[in-house]
Amino acid sequence: MKKTLIAAGFASLMSTTAMAETIGVSMALFDDNFLTVLRNGIQELADGMEGVDVQIEDAQNDVAKQLDQINNFAASGVDAIIVNPVDTSATEAMTKAAADAGVPLVYVNRQPINVDTLPDNQAFVASNEIESGTLETFEVCKMLRAMGKGGGAKAYVMMGELSNQAAVQRTKDVEDILGIDMCNFITVVDQQTANWSRDEAQDLMTNWLSTGEEFDAVIANNDEMAIGAIQAMKAQGLDMAEIVVGGVDATQDALAAMQAGDLDVTVFQNAAGQGGGALDAALRLSRGEDVDQKVYIPFELVTPANVDEYTSKN
């Protein structure tokens, strides 16, 4: 099994297949904007292939339900399984279930805790989270400097689900960037989780605003939370031109918020590319072919200067 880190290429799989293949897909949650694009990417690519069928199920953010789905897929005789894990610290049981059944498994988007010890017939397709929060926070830093805040600025940090590797890494990225000389003028007032949720982020931001604490930026682990924060600030009449707000994912809602002048920076995470890469890996593994065990789709910085380039990508 090769373990090089390369971008996924799946154009060759668009040709017809010799026999029907079924791929079981367990998504952590259907009711999520980014994961919906990822799920649609898997479905649309499969629809363009002759003889490939995908069965996609919603784990509804329930770890036990997701493990049941994996076991059921294996028992039904699928050729491979794709998993977008609910809890990245609970993936060892999923790996074991698939391995015991002899069914190839591909984790997508969320890095499993056992990523470095996956069996040869398992793989991981995502984007490197070290890039996401790093690109976001460094751009926030540059924007604050451009606004004349280099002498001192304050920021709030909104974290995703604490059980999720992406949230942990993106928050570490924030801390790492704020620790470098160029950006250590920024002080974090508070950081709390809003569980990737727009509604929870709006409530959290409303609570922060009630303290009367002055601040210059909001750095969120994803776009949904950034949008929730923006909604809370606008509801209280704050001038969004005076506050730098960052997110990650470059969802359509986020791009619209950026075009409206409310969101200042996001990072494009290629959901369709991840979905396609996961399906590519699953099909190749099901055919006994070698795949790269870690496949990273690059993140891309999105700002008002290049936002129009991304409106048709997700």
User: Would you place residue 14 in the very low, low, confident or very high pLDDT band (cuts 50, 70, 90)?
Assistant: very low
Residue 34: band (very low, low, confident or very high) from pLDDT cuts 50, 70, 90: confident
User: Please, what is the average pLDDT of the chain?
Assistant: 92
Helix, strand, coil percentages for the chain (3-state, nearest 5): 45, 20, 35
Instruction: Give the per-residue SS3 of 206-239.
Output: HHHHHCCCCCCEEEECCHHHHHHHHHHHHHCCCC
Query: What pLDDT shows up at residue 19?
Result: 63
- State pLDDT tens for residues 188-218: 999 999 999 999 999 999 999 999 999 999 9
**Domains of the chain from N-terminus onward:** 2-127+270-297 (3.40.50.2300), 129-268 (3.40.50.2300)
pLDDT in tens, 135-187: 999 999 999 999 999 999 999 999 999 988 899 999 999 999 999 999 999 99
> What percent of the chain clears pLDDT 90, i.e. is strictly above it?
88
Torsion angle of alpha carbons 155, 218, 259, 275, nearest 10°?
130
Q: What is the pLDDT of residue 33?
A: 83
pLDDT higher than threshold 70 for residue 229: yes
pLDDT for 8 beyond 90: no
What is this structure's pTM? 0.79
